[in-house]
Amino acid sequence: MLSSEILQTIDFFSSLNTSQQKTLFEISSLHRYEQDYVLYYEQTQTKYLYFLVDGLAKSYKIDKNENEIFLYYIQPSSMISEISTLKDEILMSYSNVVFVEESTVLQIEYKLFLEYFIQTGILSNKMMQEILKRSEKLETLINREFIFDAVTKVKMMIDSDLEMFNKLKRHDIALMLHIQPATLSRVLKKLKKDGIIDIVHGHVIKETL
């Protein structure tokens, strides 16, 4: 059941008062999804806005050769939905989203959410911040795919999300970064030799990134 305690764990809703929380409860519901469940596919229209309460999700695309192109992970207390405009009452997905582990999702009726919380200005600033975050993610993706070399890609992931780096299998990391597993192995050896990281029992320890 959706509660004020759950809302307080999501920064987007932390400023809502009791009355505003009650309004949100009336247009929302909680759903539990199993690992590997696909929440939506690319180019899917939906009337719901989604937030990840707990668990882990992954955003990805499929190229013309049916290869998966990893985009980013979605962490707990984050918005899952992709927002590019506040003019439409129906949301369009620009990627596929699948749950990497069992997860809980807050589902909100988007049309009513716009009416009660965005058009009234209650959460309009929060929504604009989310749109800016998406823009920053896009810039990071462009840098990762077209500008950064393998060493920079690996260093950036270790620096920004060491916990996830150690949680994933090396093959999955290589797939995410679009490099060969052998290349990832060589980069890790180089970083260790340079004193930037250490590797203990297969886990990377950040030294001086």
Q: Any idea what the CATH number is for the domain that residue 68 is in?
A: 2.60.120.10
Over range 19-40, report the average pLDDT.
Answer: 96
| Pair 112, 199 in one domain | no
pLDDT tier, 67 (very low <50, low <70, confident <90, very high otherwise): confident
Torsion of Cα atoms, 177 then 98 then 92 then 52, to 10°: -100
In a domain, 78, yes or no: yes
| Pair 11, 85 in one domain | yes
Q: What proportion of the chain, given as a percentage, has pLDDT over 90?
A: 66
Distances (CA, A) of 105 to 56, 57, 62, 79: 10, 10, 24, 10
| Pair 16, 110 in one domain | yes
| Pair 169, 117 in one domain | no
Q: What is the CA radius of gyration of the chain?
A: 19
State residue 208's pLDDT score. Answer: 58
| Pair 114, 159 in one domain | no
Residues spanned by the domain of 113: 4-123
| Pair 79, 174 in one domain | no
CA distance 192 to 158: 12
pLDDT tier, 17 (very low <50, low <70, confident <90, very high otherwise): very high
* Residue 144 reports pLDDT greater than 90: no
* Residue 135 reports pLDDT greater than 90: no
> Which one is predicted more confidently, 171 or 136?
171
Mean pLDDT over each residue of the chain, to the nearest integer:
91
In a domain, 143, yes or no: no
pLDDT per position as a tens digit, 95-125: 999 999 999 999 999 999 999 999 999 999 9
| Pair 165, 99 in one domain | no
> Which one is predicted more confidently, 5 or 106?
106
| Pair 70, 159 in one domain | no
Report the domain count for the chain.
2
Residue with tokens 């190229």, as numbered in its chain: 63
User: Which among 123, 138, 163 is the end of a domain?
Assistant: 123
